[in-house]
A and B are shown apart, each in its own frame.
Chain A
Amino acid sequence: MSVTTFVTDKAGLQKFYEAIISSNETYAPVEKSGKFEFKRVMNLSECDPESAIDKTMSIKPLFFPRSAKIMKTITTSAGTDVKETVEDPLAGKRIILGVKHCDARSLQVLDKVYLWDYHDTDYQNRRKNTVIISARCDKAGQHCFCTSLDYDVENMDAMDLLIVNGQDGKVYIKARTEKGEAFLKELTSLQLAVGSQQSAEEEIKKQYDAFAASFRLKMNYKEVNEKLGKLFDSPEFENVSANCISCNTCAFICPTCHCFKISDEKIKDSGVRYKSYDSCNNGYFTLMAGGHNPRPVKYRRWRQRAMHKFVYYKERFGVNLCVGCGKCTISCPVNISIFEVVNQVANA
């Protein structure tokens, strides 16, 4: 893979985005009531690829929809007819602009569970047909801690293209994967300038250093991971979860939470099966027929949440089930922060 970095300016970047939107199925952060959600866009004016991290929802719904019809059935006197549903609206070739680093990373994390053993082929297709274009944050959000976790935020290849606003006022566009490289080649009409590679690398590094220095939250991930692994019986889980109202917002908004439920509905003779988001914070999540529930109380469910994210997933798949985006903390109605939860339990 070549490592060409293109150099342009703010106006050039706008042109770059416009060229992408005009010739591709493009998704980008679109503002609604102060929050940005990734939506299909037709014009650059509709969206803001540099939306603030604190206000931007994750791209998860573009790969794992909130609720999807997966089957329809018709029952007649002749028997039951099962129809697998409709074409996948998310399967086409598409570009996503303005993906934050944490969000891009979340896909690599989800790959592990969705693509082991049985493959989630719909997810796989959506993933294969998508080019991820990432604009690096200039500044960390209030609840961000991506740089404290087990991945290399600076050099990650989770995005196909990386866009960096240099402190010299220039904009650097760099391919991080072969898919990104190929995509850049297709955009020949833009005639992007190739600058001095060395100074480009220096500017990108400078921007990263300033970004990394802006974090309020820092943790020693390895230490927390090791300690938590031995704290299954910690009474601290009761304290950290005491305020939780089990609304599940954290799980629905989390870019790496991937648990789902399968539910069937029936109206007269036609039935529908849905696959929708679910959360381990739900009291009924592990409730079995007959009433037995291994996690009947809140602290056990919170223990599962914290341990799954910081211990179990790592044990099983080698990566952390948290990308440090802080979305759960921002959205929590009672201000529970996963960062504080794991630190408090680990250091109690």
Chain B
Amino acid sequence: MEQLLVPTLCKIDQIIQETPDIRTYRLKFKDDSLMEKYTWLPGQFVEFSLIGHGECTFCISSSSTRKGYFDCSVKKAGTVTSDIHNNLDEGDEIGIRGPYGNWFPLEDIKGKNLLFVGGGIGLAPLRSLIQYCVDNRNDYKNFTILYGARTSSDLCYKEEIKEWQENKSLKVILTIDKSEETWKDNVGVVPKILEEVVKPTVENTKVITCGPPIMIKYTLLSLDKLGFAPKDVITTLEMKMQCGLGKCGRCNIGSTYVCKDGPVFTYEQLKALPDEF
């Protein structure tokens, strides 16, 4: 166990300032041969050590179909994430444990229409799956991404969103909460745009959603209203975690270990859990 809690060293290859408080850290293992062998599936997470400061749980926000690196997108929110923002530069070393947890149900979504619904930093775990699906585009039918943030500057992955918008096989809908002078896209919260603008086909569609709790709450209601079955709605939970190994007892909801049985759950599975979160 003790050995399982010891991280492997990585180097920060690149830091991308996504929004005023979100940065993407592009990581490579110090040992190149480890990087070549390293693999994960969209939805899995890692324990990120800022050596001497502590560990944080982050999803891997890139897909293993893009070789040679992996990304963690970090929002400045608590003690360690602030330390990460304040202390780390390109070339610095950090520690990584994982990948841990389950992943998006890749087999179930094959051959389906995909609807991604993301809010704020919630696009990070979705991005891993979006990249994976874009790289295997022929396996899926219609491909829609609805993404919203409070303001236009809070939209994450702006460069990549441009690529998605240029990709004719993807439909990208952006929204911000309040209107801004130079903003030409939608204005309104995600659930509203989902109902009024996206108006998704329910048949043969899988919805993958992640965002702040309040967005998730109303998005689930909207999806319900639109007629989506809970088993076709997939989300990923944020929960306080430490070990990532199903031992430390932090992430339990009832008898479910979010770090082992999750973090990816269908809405159907979530409904069966005690209403604790």
- The interface of chain A, by Cβ under 8 A from chain B, is 68, 70-71, 73, 75, 79-80, 82, 84-85, 88, 113-114, 116-123, 232-233, 258-266, 271, 273, 275, 278, 280, 285-292, 294-295, 300, 304, 307-308, 311-313, 315-316
Contacts and interface: CB of A to CB of B under 8 A. Distances in A.
Interface stretch (B49-57, B149-157, B176-184, B220-228): B49-57
Contacts of A273: 5-6
Contact of B252 (A70, A80, A308): A308
Given A285-B240, A312-B254, A313-B255, A264 B52 contact: yes
Contacts of A259: 248-250
Contact of B246 (A80, A84, A116): A116
Given A82-B7, A288-B238, A70 B2 contact: yes
15 contacts: A71-B6, A75-B52, A79-B9, A117-B246, A117-B260, A123-B1, A260-B243, A261-B242, A264-B55, A273-B5, A275-B5, A278-B249, A289-B79, A311-B255, A312-B254
B245 interface: yes
Given A70-B2, A264-B49, 11 more contacts: A71-B6, A84-B6, A117-B245, A120-B1, A120-B4, A258-B249, A260-B242, A260-B248, A262-B242, A275-B1, A315-B254
B34 interface: no
B106 interface: no
A-B complex: 6 closest residue pairs judged by Cβ atoms: A289-B78, A266-B52, A259-B249, A271-B52, A120-B1, A290-B77
B246 A294 contact: no
Contacts of B52: 73, 75, 264-266, 271
A289 B250 contact: no
B213 interface: yes
Given A285-B240, A300-B276, A263 B247 contact: no
A113 B240 contact: no
Given A292-B213, A315-B254, A263 B2 contact: no
Contacts of A263: 54
Nearest to B100: A118
A288 B255 contact: no
Contacts of B276: 294-295, 300, 304
Contact size range, B: 35 or more
A291 B242 CA distance: 16
Nearest to B254: A312
B60 to A, nearest CB: 18
B93 interface: yes
A286 B240 contact: yes
B81 interface: yes
Most chain A beta carbons < 10 A, residue from B6, B52, B213: B52
B163 interface: no
Most chain A beta carbons < 10 A, residue from B3, B30, B255: B255
A306 to B, nearest CB: 13
A80 B51 contact: yes
A312 B255 contact: yes
Contacts of A71: 2, 5-6
B213 A114 contact: no
B172 interface: no
Contact of B2 (A122, A291, A308): A122
B213 A73 contact: no
A69 to B, nearest CB: 9
A118 B245 contact: yes
A294 B254 contact: no
A180 to B, nearest CB: 26
Interface in B15-43: 30
A271 B3 contact: no
B62 to A, nearest CB: 21
Contacts of B77: 289-290
Nearest to B80: A289
Contacts of A308: 249, 252
Most chain B beta carbons < 10 A, residue from A73, A85, A263, A311: A73
Contacts of B78: 288-291
A123 B213 CA distance: 37
Nearest to B4: A118
A8 to B, nearest CB: 40
B53 A278 contact: no
Contacts of A68: 2
A209 B192 CA distance: 69
Nearest to A288: B240
A262 B274 CA distance: 27
B51 A73 contact: yes
B125 interface: no
B275 interface: yes
Nearest to B56: A289
B51 A287 contact: no
A312 B242 contact: no
Contacts of B1: 114, 118-123, 275
A119 B3 CA distance: 11
B22 to A, nearest CB: 12
Contacts of A264: 49, 51-55
A5 to B, nearest CB: 37
Contacts of A258: 247, 249
A260 B240 contact: no
A122 B277 CA distance: 33
B262 interface: no
Given A286-B240, A288-B238, A316 B255 contact: yes
B119 interface: no
